[in-house]
Amino acid sequence: MKTIKLHDKEFRLLIKEELIDKEIKRVAEEINRDMKDKEPIFLSVLNGSFMFTSDLLKHINLKNTEVSFIKFTSYCGTNSTDRINSLIGLNEKIKGRNIVILEDMIDTGKSMEHLINTLKAEEPASICIATMFFKPKALKTGRIPDYNAMILENDFVVGRGLDYDGLGRNFPDLYIIC
Ligand code: IMP
Ligand code: MG
């Protein structure tokens, strides 16, 4: 499918699924290498990271791998807003643990900064960030991700877990707004 329509907007194919798969596998291999013997807990940030989490974890072969799902939202339509909600779903004890945050996208970095500050209060041993997509030119605050599968320009995209007002998350390819 070369173009799709979601609500009022058209999107065209930007990146084929095979390339995204390949880069996610590379990230998994980097994490396997760096996290050997660290027994990390993966914290997947819902909703957008559900597909990335599944794709990445299939290639993770670390001892005692744990994954947990957390959630907060900061996005409305096609523009990042300043509204940041509180974090839900953090049930595991993370004190003293090595954490790998799994994000679908780092855009302005605001959500990530807020998440890291929240997690730091729980005194983990370390926190690192793995993101499927990273828009470096949009980054306003926070850290550059430790691992990223693909770098993007500042355009709004959907697919691969990313949505436009609730739609488009299911597409295995990535689409860009027309
Ligand atoms: P940030 O706080 O601006 O870094 O954005 C955080 C979240 O906004 C990401 O984790 C995504 O879920 C969402 N987001 C950012 N850019 C896009 C996009 O291009 N399409 C869909 N969602 C996006
Ligand atoms: Mg997200």
Probe ligand 1: pick from 6, 105, 116, 150, max atoms within 8 Å of CB? 105
How much is the pLDDT for 73? 62
Identify the residue whose tokens are 């980097």: 30
How much is the pLDDT for 87? 84
Q: Which helix (H) or strand (E) holds 19?
A: helix 17-34
User: With a 6 A CB cut-off, is 157 part of the ligand 1 pocket?
Assistant: yes
**DSSP SS3 for 168:** coil
How much is the pLDDT for 74? 54
Q: Cis ω on the peptide bond leading into residue 91 (within 30° of 0)?
A: no
Task: Give the separation between CA 161 and CA 170, rounded to whole angstroms.
Answer: 6
Query: Closest residue (by CA) to atom 11 of ligand 1?
Result: 105
How much is the pLDDT for 92? 78
DSSP for 55-111, please give it.
Answer: HHHTT---TT-EEEEEE---EETTEE-S--PPPB---S--TT-EEEEEEEEESSSHH
How much is the pLDDT for 119? 94
Task: Give the separation between CA 174 and CA 15, rounded to whole angstroms.
Answer: 5
Sign of CA dihedral 133, 45, 138, 2: positive
Identify the residue whose tokens are 């595991």: 92
How much is the pLDDT for 11? 98
How much is the pLDDT for 8? 96
How much is the pLDDT for 9? 98
Where the chain has pLDDT below 70, the residues are: 1, 73-84
Distance from the alpha carbon of residue 125 to the mean position of ligand 2, in angstroms: 23
Tokens linked to 50: 């559900």
pTM of the complete model? 0.93
What does the pLDDT look like over 73-86, one tens digit per residue?
655 556 555 555 77
